[in-house]
Amino acid sequence: VENDQEQGFVFVGKDYNYLMTDGSSNLLNIIKSIPAEQRNLKTPSPLVLEMDDSTHFHGEITIRYNIPTYQIDEKQKELLNTLGFKNQFMAMENQKQVFYPFTIIRFKGKIYQKADNQKIQQQLPTPY
């Protein structure tokens, strides 16, 4: 990105790139710490970004941990807590209440014109 002065998570669009500046380290920590099969991204598709002005946006991403709380050991609970999974939602499974951890990542960012030859430093192994 412009003189390599800013770093963060990038959403690649058709005409623009959306650089997540605030909140990107939280998202990256979760992606690196929790295997893809143990988490779900819960966002509208396409992702909804609210514009603050012509070049800045904000939004939120909800990530759900796919293992119910009663099956999580203390070490994993500690990791989830460190990663921000401090909320739980309830689902009914076999007529029982089951709770799953989730986190909401609120982020801000900047919009950049898409470059012709983009260098992608690190691409996610599993696209969302």
Helix (H) or strand (E) segment spanning residue 34: none
The verdict on residue 107 lying in a domain is: yes
| Percent of the chain with pLDDT strictly greater than 70 | 84
- Segment 94-115, tens digit of pLDDT: 999 999 999 999 999 999 887 7
The verdict on residue 120 lying in a domain is: no
The verdict on residue 122 lying in a domain is: no
Q: Is the pLDDT of residue 72 over 60?
A: yes
The verdict on residue 106 lying in a domain is: yes
The verdict on residue 125 lying in a domain is: no
- Segment 32-61, tens digit of pLDDT: 999 999 999 887 777 788 999 999 999 999
CA atoms of 60 and 121, how far apart (whole Å): 24
pLDDT level of residue 17 (50, 70, 90 thresholds) = confident
The verdict on residue 31 lying in a domain is: yes
The verdict on residue 35 lying in a domain is: yes
CA atoms of 58 and 51, how far apart (whole Å): 7
Confidence (pLDDT) at 77: 95
Quick one: which of 16, 21, 30 has its CA closest to 111?
16
What residues pair up with 6 in beta bridges, in sequence order? Answer: none
The verdict on residue 124 lying in a domain is: no
Lowest-confidence segment of 8-12, 15-19, 88-92 by average pLDDT: 8-12
Whole-structure pTM value: 0.76
What is the domain extent for residue 72?
A: 2-113
The domain tally of the chain equals: 1
